[in-house]
Structure 1
């Protein structure tokens, strides 16, 4: 029985290892990861994030001689590749990083591109199973504002985030806020597919002065072909509720320090010989504000 269990466990382990070799989990296999599609701003540079894996037997072949070639058809070699590498355009292939930046996007066409890895040894492989669709655009997409609307009370701490795609990592868009509401913090963040986005976060305290005044975020993209920069913008109009300040008053009431003596924007009363103090209270759904007191002094004059 003990021998039977040992044999059974051995068979299970062999089957498990065989399955792992097929899937590439342990034994390694050729595969590549990059975005399915990417937008290229015409005249600008573009970075295609890319990583790969090789069969375990080729791990030691990844050295300084390795180069990455791109082509718009899956069948090609280093000699007929349309896009040949330069030293500073590709990631560290020894670390399986095939991320590539094309400074001159005029070399690209609207097509699907595939990559081939070639080293001065036995490692030569064309990743024809996966390619990236390249699309050219003349105008960048509008930035994204988060939140997209702003409805808060005066005095609330507010943070707005502006995000814009960064198709070229070395030249991300410049983000500016109008009006300048304070210091902003900028970061270059990575999406799930390894593409990147530029973000700017601005924080301020909501004021009645912001109510109804447009807040705009502008993304400026610099071209590498000498043509003018292009911009895109997104805006929102804050709705700030605040205690009465002209003209946000809903009701006016008048009192003599105690009793209600009138309503409305103006007060008409018959004066008496008693000197009185009067107050005007302006109210809305957020709160109220009282005026400074004023006094009517009635003097008796003897003829």
Structure 2
């Protein structure tokens, strides 16, 4: 914090910052004001001069001498002794005194080669998705004719800039970035850069940053099946539920979707099941402290084994089939001679090939 230095005399009281940081090669505006007893106010007019000295004796600024390196920006009639000094150098880091009549007061100027790091408020960002966020970047503006330019690494939203005054009347350049937090911002570095333009035309910049921590419920929840593609009936199948979330997913639940009914079939990131011909559609649900997210409905492509066939007549044979194979055979009408009951077919005396079936061939033999 900066404290205000007040020096008193019987007739005179002066206010100015105790210390000011200045960028080497730039100017500095020293906020200064004074109070004076009423009986002396009439004596403060344009004939008065403002003097700035360092180390008590050496005059560095005289408002009545245009050769000195600076100018009085305040109005002494209004008890404003604010002064700008130009082209400050490291050797100018000294205690400076203001003098009006017989009352001196002091401020210390500290010069630096590298500008001070901008300040981010708040210094950390940890919010839930959908929250409205305002980040303020602040940088000292000791030279009012060359205030720092503030830029953000990413244009995440609306930016509003202003030059503000501290309690000690020093100035600070601010930039407020307002946006709505999204999961896409999670882990993203948000930085603010202050660019200082010196009086010799050169520039210096310095940055500060934070990493966004955005909480959000599970998103992009998906199911993967291994092995992929058609699988034999009664074989083992591994189901994996994946999702992105912050904080991490705390639980996974597997559901069987049977019409409008949902039945829990297991829990865990990975579920191992047996593939049956009547395996219905299913999905997984991921959950964390913020909420939950569901995958799309999936279904395992189960290829059923063929049932035993039996001889029916001299010319035909009978084969009991699952509904799945029943459908496949119905698509191969050129192989069928007749159909008697649902799930039972009669085939001509020939070898019957079923496209897409990898397990065996169906054929009938004449006795």
TM-score category of the 2 structures, normalised to the smaller one: 0.7 to 0.9
The within-5 A match list for 1:1-303 is 29-74=11-56, 81-85=59-63, 86=66, 88-106=71-89, 109-117=92-100, 125-128=101-104, 130-226=105-201, 228-245=202-219, 246-248=243-245, 250=249, 251-257=251-257, 258-274=262-278, 276-296=280-300, 299-301=323-325, 303=362
Over 3 Å counting, the alpha-carbon distance change for 1:55 and 1:300 in structure 2 is: closer
Aligned length: 265
On the 8 A contact 1:115/1:126 being kept in 2, the answer is no
* Greater length-normalized contact order (CA 8 Å, ≥ 6 residues apart): 1
- SS of the residue 2:46 aligns to: coil
| CA distance 1:83–1:178, shift in 2 (3 Å) | same
8 Å CA contact 1:143–1:217 kept in 2: the answer is yes
SS at match of 2:50: strand
Change (3 A) 1:297 1:40: closer
| CA positional deviation for 1:107 | 10
Q: Runs of 5+ in structure 1 lacking a partner?
A: 1-22, 118-124
Distance 1:152 1:178 in 2: 20
Q: Give TM-score, length-normalised by structure 2.
A: 0.66
- Between structures 1 and 2, the one with greater helix share: 1
**Over aligned residues, Cα RMSD in angstroms?**
2.5
- What's the offset of the Cα at 1:213? 1.1
**Other structure's SS at 1:58 match:** helix
TM-score by length of 1: 0.79
Distance change >3 Å, CA 81–CA 107, structure 1 → 2: farther
CA distance in 2, matches of 1:109, 1:231: 22
Higher-Rg member (1/2)? 2
- Separation in 2 of the partners of 1:273 and 1:135? 82
1:138 Cα shift? Answer: 0.7
Q: Which structure has greater strand proportion?
A: 2
Could you list the runs of 5+ residues in structure 2 that have no partner in the other structure?
A: 1-7, 220-242, 303-322, 327-361, 363-367
